Amino acid sequence: MYLLFMYLFLLFCQIQGLIFYYDTNTSNLNTIEYKYKNYNNSDIFVFLPGTNAYCENYSQLFYTVNNRINVLCINYKSSMKSSIKYYKYNSFQNKSKSLEKPLYQALEKINNISGMNYIDKVNNTPEWSKIVAGGHSQGSVIVTGWGKIHKLARLVVFSGPGCQFGKRLHDWIKSPFATESNRIYGIETLQDKILPWNYGNKHFGCKKEDGVSSYIKAMGINEIEIVKVIEKKMEKKSQIILLNMTLVNGIKSHLFTCFNMKTIYKKFRENMWLYSILGK
């Protein structure tokens, strides 16, 4: 019996992940969950929140996947006011590049704390091939910028990428990507009114052809499955899960893809996350 308990304990140790939040303003790394190192997956899930959002707004997502992969979420300047000011003079590619150094600093701190290495110490860069990069809304565009020039383990976009703050993406988002197209996944909604699937949001200074769908296809991805949320199941498990949420308003559907919320679709969302991020 003792040996059985020891085996179960060691098995439990093997599957627990770590969760970290890093703040670019303070350079502080906060340990949110630190039970045991995750030995099942050599990669790390790096996530960027959307506009006006923070890492704690996505904790349901992180706790769903962290028994399979370690998690790093980065809080960066993403308020509506600061974003409008920034993108008036800068591109999303500038933003992607500007967050590479904070990402490296966060990974270096994680290495010092846990002994887990996700950095290329020769070139002083993140070890991109070990990074599963994900982002919501504005964050989805920024991580797409990483995927464009770096070969990621996986790229996962939630409610995006889409035109916003007057920045259209057609000049750079089209394939080829450094990250292989079969490693790009996402969860979108047909009812999204913030970054609409079929057309650009005119309030963001976007044109009709700036729908998320046009950018997804420009990235070389055509494997898209429309899923009726009310049925709570995915059939084909395609790269892009396109949710049809006929009873949900546009703002809530924009958040449904990964934002914390109380919902009867809890298990359904968890299954989508595990599949999109881990392929499970």
The tens place of each residue's pLDDT in the chain, 280 residues long, gives: 433 343 333 344 444 679 999 999 999 999 998 776 666 678 999 999 999 999 999 999 999 999 899 999 999 999 999 999 999 999 999 999 999 999 999 999 999 998 899 999 899 999 999 999 999 999 999 999 999 999 999 999 999 999 999 999 999 999 899 999 999 999 999 999 999 999 999 999 999 999 999 999 999 999 999 999 999 888 878 999 999 998 777 899 999 999 999 999 999 999 999 999 999 7
Burial (0-12, 13-18, 19+ Cβ within 10 Å), 231: exposed
Burial (0-12, 13-18, 19+ Cβ within 10 Å), 161: buried
CA distance 177 to 275: 22
- Half-sphere exposure (Cβ direction) of 261: Cα atoms closer than 13 Å: 14
**And the tokens for 30?**
């906060």
pTM assigned to the model? 0.93
CA distance 171 to 157: 19
**And the tokens for 85?**
């000011």
Residue keyed to tokens 């050599």: 42
- Half-sphere exposure (Cβ direction) of 52: Cα atoms closer than 13 Å: 4
Q: What backbone phi and psi angles, to 5 degrees, belong to 25?
A: -75, -35
CA nearest to 182, candidates 159, 152, 214, 227: 152
